[in-house]
Amino acid sequence: MLNIRRSNTFQHSALGILHFDPFRQAPRYMNPTDLIELVEKHGQQHLLAHWSKLSPAERESLEEQIRAVDFEQLEKLRTGESKTVDWSETAARAKSPPAVRLQDAAKHAKEAIAAGEQALKAGQVGAVLVAGGQGTRLGFDHPKGMYPIGPVSNCPLFQILFEKLIAVGRRYGVRIPLFLMTSPATHDETVAFLAEHGRFGLPEEDLVVFCQGTMPAVDRATGKLLLAEPGALALSPDGHGGLPAALARSPAASIIRERGLVHLFYFQVDNALVTMCDPAFLGHHILSGSEASTQVVAKQDPAERVGVLAEIDGKTQIIEYSDLPAADAARKSADGSLELWAGNIAVHVFDADFMLRMTAEAGGLPFHIAQKKVPYVDEAGKLVEPKEPNALKFEKFIFDLLPAARKTLVVEVDPAEAFAPVKNAPGSKTDSPDTVRAAILAQHARMLREAGTSLADGVEIEISPLFALDAVELAAKLGQGAHLTKTAVLK
Ligand code: UTP
């Protein structure tokens, strides 16, 4: 709360930006001396530049936001003082990680699928969907899960993901709870959208929505915190690595315990092709005794902008593409293939115990720094829309949990079957809505072919997960030898 001591310090303070005593106009805020001292101490006086024009509620909220900032930590992050890893040196020691490669996966598929299915049938599996990102590259003004992506149906990403989850639950005769992480940027709209659509059929008791924390954005050159509005800091979600802390703050952690969940299937809101609660992946995780497993795809080109799983000093971890020196990215194994081949697709299985253990240590995950364009209000109160990255954003990444796991596993999957993320704006060559729609149609065309169905020329078929999850289900529904002559959604 505000300190309401009255003193003269304010009028004589070094706050050159405040030309008059704004607090005189609002008796409740007679003299927040220690707030002024706090911002002065850290060279952040500009944060109070618009104080005189703020309502009491706005002042209270701005003060709360300012007091929540760890200024020392931000400065250390900005100046690189708290940098823990020298990647150029570490990447030189990175080796190809132990992994279940695609060809081996097929060999052991039966055994793995059986183990995964057993866990699913026993109700040991919960799903964790992270959907707190701002989706800046996509340029969509709503949470990414609301993005219309169905190639024929135009249905939103959320619908595809929710229906996949419901379909997997039905197949194994269980209800799989979904733990959905939002952020202040996505929470309200996500909750309203899901309510409006009846959670696409997911029972209310099976959806636990919880909100992640935020970090302030700072000016890249000066370290000054940016104001999104005259009375609000520019805050961004603290990264998908904010998950353990967010779980701990919400009822989700105790619900995981109460429901007796053993394995958490983690996925991201933008991957329309995710193999939901993939039994084979779950099975490999279980059979190997891993605490944290990761799906990967084989990199084709050293320059691909994807993090790589690598073994470093006996531990499997991820090196972000921005941290990986080009020479290491291009390093070859004896057989001529890329040594650091294992591209992260951000699909994991975590042991529930491991995740809950991590909630206690969540604060320990390092921050990664990204340079971004962050609009801000300047001292004259004008909104500035930068054309070039002007700010630093600080995010934690979920994969930084990997080194803490007693055992990890890497499992390769075929991207055509398991990975099509919506990252970039329509029209972009990669990871755009267009490429994702094409990937969904291609997968569904393969399923139809495998099910013995043929398509007339130019016909596009989208298959709702509730209609069929795979070719076997599809064949059972359509019968052998069906011929489809019209573009349609099978649902
Ligand atoms: P990305 O790192 O691709 O970020 O998120 P983004 O917000 O979707 O897109 P850009 O980078 O701004 O364009 C990968 C996944 O992690 C989630 C996203 O919602 C997405 O599912 N995420 C990201 C969070 O849940 N919280 C965050 O703070 C960041």
Backbone angles phi, psi at 293, to 5 degrees: -115, 155
Distance between CA atoms of residues 76 and 83, nearest Å: 8
Which of 392, 71, 55 lies closest to 232 in space, CA to CA? 55
Spacing, Cα 269 to ligand 1 middle (Å): 8
pLDDT confidence bin for 105, thresholds 50/70/90:
confident
Q: What is the mean pLDDT of the segment spanning 295-310?
A: 96
Spacing, Cα 135 to ligand 1 middle (Å): 6
Q: What is the mean pLDDT of the segment spanning 77-86?
A: 74
Spacing, Cα 439 to ligand 1 middle (Å): 21
CATH 3.10.180.10 fits 84-419, yes or no: no
Query: Which atom, in ligand 1's list, is nearest to the CA of 133?
Result: 7
Amino acid (1-letter code) at residue 395: E
pLDDT value, residue 33: 79
Amino acid (1-letter code) at residue 64: E
Measured from the CB, is residue 131 less than 6 Å from ligand 1?
Answer: yes
Distance between CA atoms of residues 240 and 238, nearest Å: 7
pLDDT value, residue 10: 31
Torsion of CA 97, 102, 108, 112, to 10 degrees: 80
Question: Is the pLDDT confidence value at 364 over 80?
Answer: no
Distance between CA atoms of residues 301 and 310, nearest Å: 16
Percent of the chain with pLDDT over 70: 92
Pocket test for ligand 1, best of 142, 250, 269 (most atoms within 8 A of CB): 269
pLDDT value, residue 88: 84
- Taking CA atoms only, the protein residue closest to ligand 1 atom 17 is 133
Question: Is the pLDDT confidence value at 47 over 90?
Answer: yes
Which of 215, 187, 226 lies closest to 374 in space, CA to CA? 226
pLDDT confidence bin for 311, thresholds 50/70/90:
very high
Q: How confident is the model over 218-237, as pLDDT tens digits?
A: 999 999 999 999 999 999 99
- CA separation (Å) from 214 to 234, 248, 373? 10, 15, 17
pLDDT confidence bin for 9, thresholds 50/70/90:
very low
Question: Is the pLDDT confidence value at 366 over 90?
Answer: no
pLDDT value, residue 199: 98
pLDDT value, residue 78: 87
pTM: predicted TM-score of the whole model, two decimal places: 0.91
Output the six-digit token pair for 143: 């949470």
pLDDT value, residue 345: 98
Q: How confident is the model over 430-476, as pLDDT tens digits?
A: 999 999 999 999 999 999 999 999 999 999 999 999 999 999 999 99
Spacing, Cα 27 to ligand 1 middle (Å): 43
In the chain, where the domains are located: 84-419, 429-491
